[in-house]
Amino acid sequence: MLWPQAPQFDVEKVVEACRAWLTSEEAYDTVRKRLPELKAREKAYRVAGENGKLLSLLLAYRPAQRFDRHAKLLKDAYTTAFVQRAEGRKLYDAIRAAAVHGSCPLCGLQQVAQVDHHAPKADFPLLALTPLNLVPVCGPCNQGKSSKLATSVTEEAFHPYFEDLGPDRWLHAQIDTDERVAVFEVRPPAEWDEVKKRRIGHHFESHDLACRYREAAGSVVAKRRRRDAELLEQTKSPAEVRAHIRGDVDSHAAHDPNGYETALLRALAESTWYLGGGMKFLYA
Ligand SMILES: [Zn+2]
């Protein structure tokens, strides 16, 4: 997963960008009065995120925030002033543009299409305008994500601004020669702690990545099948084909060690069936 840089602006900048709309709603002074509190919560969010305590902070916040007297105003400010009006939209687009190569940080599969509230705005209206709580995602990941906050640490969603999974390999694929498809699975490194292992498994399941990666792999295979078959035809050597694929693995792994294409190419290089001529039938 390639994770974007955190936004370089704060909640005050967002409130100012929403000013014209808030003024038209006669609500600018109201939100302005609450700004010190919004900034304090933003700071607490950052500190908790940096210290791996975000979920416990959010669970402590939730009961009071949901029924905050300005909940509707803050959610409306997000939906209307931040997303739809020009001044807010500039900041919204800056958050989207932070995605690495425009790619969704949660799946690495589709292009970023929208911005998601890490802590859902329905439960956390006081974080609705907080940039640190806004993450660029693709449509399917946003729709697949639960609108409820996890209640257990093993189901806590990864936060791209605070957590780095590092280069350890956790995504694997194999070629299923009966079904003639690639099958993806999570195999976290043994040295990861139990919570992190369960969280990556939950991430994989909740975003339906086994199914989405299996389907996406079909188009990758379709693009390279002929070239691999020609190389086998010319060289009569599965080992040559393997060496060629491994060169591609290296460049993909340098870009994203746990990208689905990296896992797929590794699986192709390890499949004697594919290397020996099965490439003509995979996803065919
Ligand atoms: Zn996605």
Residue 28 shares a structural domain with residue 132: yes
CA of 109 to the centre of ligand 1 (A): 6
Give residue 121 CA to ligand 1 midpoint distance, Å: 19
Q: For the chain, list residues with pLDDT below 50.
A: none
Return d(Cα 238, Cα 271) in angstroms, integer: 10
- What is the whole-number distance in angstroms between the Cα of residue 154 and the centre of ligand 1? 20
Token match 């035809």: residue? 233
Separation between Cα atoms, residue 198 and residue 185, nearest integer Å: 13
Structure token digits, residue 139:
């449509």
Query: Does any domain span residue 151?
Result: no
What's the burial of 88, exposed, middle or buried (CB within 10 Å: 0-12/13-18/19+)? buried
Ligand 1 center to 139 CA (angstroms): 7
Domain extent for 97: 11-145
Whether residues 135 and 189 share a domain: the answer is no
The answer to whether position 150 is within a domain reads no
Q: What is the pLDDT of residue 258?
A: 95
- Kindly state whether residues 17 and 79 are assigned to the same domain: yes
Tell me, what's the pLDDT at 58?
Answer: 95
In a domain, 157, yes or no: no
Q: Are residue 79 and residue 134 in the same domain, yes or no?
A: yes
Task: At 276, list the tokens.
Answer: 């020996």
What pLDDT score does 49 carry?
Answer: 97
Q: What pLDDT shows up at residue 146?
A: 66
Taking the centre of ligand 1 as the mean of its atom positions, its distance from the CA of residue 6, in whole angstroms, is: 17
* 136 shares its domain with 178: no
Q: Ligand 1 centre and the CA of 2: distance in Å?
A: 11
What digits encode the pLDDT tens for the residues 171-200? 999 999 999 999 999 999 999 999 999 999
d(CA 266, CA 250): 9
Give domain status of residue 154, yes or no. no
Same domain, 16 and 127: yes
Residues 25 and 116 in one domain: yes
Distance (Å) from CA 118 to ligand 1 centroid: 14
Regarding whether 176 and 55 lie in a shared domain, the answer is no
> Is residue 6 assigned to a domain?
no
CA dist list (Å): 70 to 28, 65, 85, 208: 12, 9, 20, 35
pLDDT value of position 143: 85
Cα(106) to ligand 1 centroid in Å equals 5
Q: What's the gap in Å between 187 CA and the centre of ligand 1?
A: 20
How close is the Cα of 140 to the center of ligand 1, in Å?
6
Question: Is residue 5 assigned to a domain?
Answer: no
Ligand 1 center to 101 CA (angstroms): 13
The total of structural domains in the chain comes to: 2
CA 105 to ligand 1 centroid distance, Å: 6
